[in-house]
Structure 1
Amino acid sequence: MDSVLRAVAIYLVLMILFKIAGRRSLAELTTFDLVLLMVIGEATQQALLGDDFSLTNAVLVIATLIAIDVGLSLLKQRSRRVARLLDGGPTIVVEHGKVLHERLRRARLDESDILEAARSAQGIVQISQIKFAIIERNGKISVIPD
């Protein structure tokens, strides 16, 4: 039972920490992000398994994590409020060629991030050519040309 409680606690802590970190950290992994995720994975493994490295304990922890994930996905399907709380929603950061600086600041992005997405997706080189730039729930930036 200790393993199940550890799995639940670690799942919730990681979910909260990644929510605090924001969508930007999920959009594209840099080398630093990959190393950080590997370290988090190792620390999480130690916290989840403790001193019990048995196959039974590992299976129990994995089953618990999957059950939590499935349970939350079912809960999100039933409740828009829960889905919004867990996944957030899209955020418009450029509207009709005007940068919405406060939203951009809260997302910890800058204009160069928007322009990079605009160049790679649409070949756009100026903010004034963007009708909407939207940070999607998954952290990607969608650009709609003017």
Structure 2
Amino acid sequence: MNELEHVVILAILRTVVSFIILMVVTYCIGKQVNAHKNHYNFALSITLGSFIANMGFDTNLKFYPMLAAFLTLIFLYLIMSAYSANSRRFRKWLSGNPTIIIENGKLLDSNMKKVKYTLDHLNLQLREQGIFDIVEVEFALLEVSGNLSVLKKSSFQTVTKKDLNLDQPHQENSLPVELIMDGVVIDKNLNDPYSRPWLEQQLKTRRLEIKDIHYAVVGTNGSFFIDLYQD
């Protein structure tokens, strides 16, 4: 066997092993990474791809040190994921926050400039959601993933069976108000009419304590949703 054949066979074997390792890893954590929902997952997916590519066909690099570095990266990801699941502050730092582009039907030019988001981008993403007239939009948020989340004004929303109940009073829509997350009260969101006394009364009525609550939010229509740790 000459040197060229040896290099080719070695590259094939390394590629097969690297591919199997990648399949195992993506099976375990692929749902989070492949979604590219934040900068961290996007950067991680690119880094993993670079590792696998070098492990597979770059025969100038030793395989086992590359594999050790690859597994170290996965280990760090798992540790950070576990910690972020129990720390909202760390999770926000890791994932970032959405940017409000349209609020109460008005464009927030200052926010658009901060994220270098143009009107062309806005109109493009609105058209992708079937909205050709910006006056139909009540709220629009630019997510960390780059997707645009839109809440239409009430008069432009699709009619549902519930809407056909003419006895229901009209309710204006607003952004959801998160009050409790991971068993911790979000104090900055405690404003009228959803004050701390209001929240305490809601919990007292349901015989609940803050530590028992995984997530509590006031929906766009004013409904109060609670998710408990113990389902």
Compute the TM-score of the two structures, normalised by the length of structure 2. 0.40
> Which residue does the alignment assign to 1:124?
131
Length, aligned pairs only: 105
> Which residue does the alignment assign to 1:91?
99
Q: How does 1:1-146 map to 2 (within 5 A)?
A: 41=50, 53-121=61-129, 123-146=130-153
Query: Superposition RMSD on alpha carbons, in Å?
Result: 2.9
Percent identity for Structure 1 against Structure 2: 25
> d(CA) in 2 for partners of 1:98 and 1:105?
15
Structure 1 residue runs without a partner (length 5+): 1-21, 27-36, 46-51
1:126, distance to aligned residue in structure 2 (A): 2.5
Q: Spell out structure 1 runs of 4+ moving beyond 4 A.
A: none
| SS of residue in 1 equivalent to 2:85 | helix
1:129, distance to aligned residue in structure 2 (A): 1.4
Larger radius of gyration: 2
Does structure 2 retain, via aligned residues, the 8 Å contact 1:93–1:103?
yes
> d(CA) in 1 for partners of 2:66 and 2:131?
49
> d(CA) in 2 for partners of 1:135 and 1:69?
25
Higher helix share: 1
Higher RCO, 1 or 2 (CA under 8 Å, sep at least 6)?
1
1:74, distance to aligned residue in structure 2 (A): 1.1
> d(CA) in 2 for partners of 1:109 and 1:97?
17
> d(CA) in 1 for partners of 2:70 and 2:148?
32
Does structure 2 retain, via aligned residues, the 8 Å contact 1:117–1:142?
no
How far does the alpha carbon of each residue in 1:82-115 deviate from its partner, in whole angstroms, 9 at most, with x for none?
1111111222111122111111111110122111
1:137, distance to aligned residue in structure 2 (A): 2.7
> Which residue does the alignment assign to 2:28?
none
> d(CA) in 1 for partners of 2:151 and 2:127?
12
> Which residue does the alignment assign to 1:11?
none
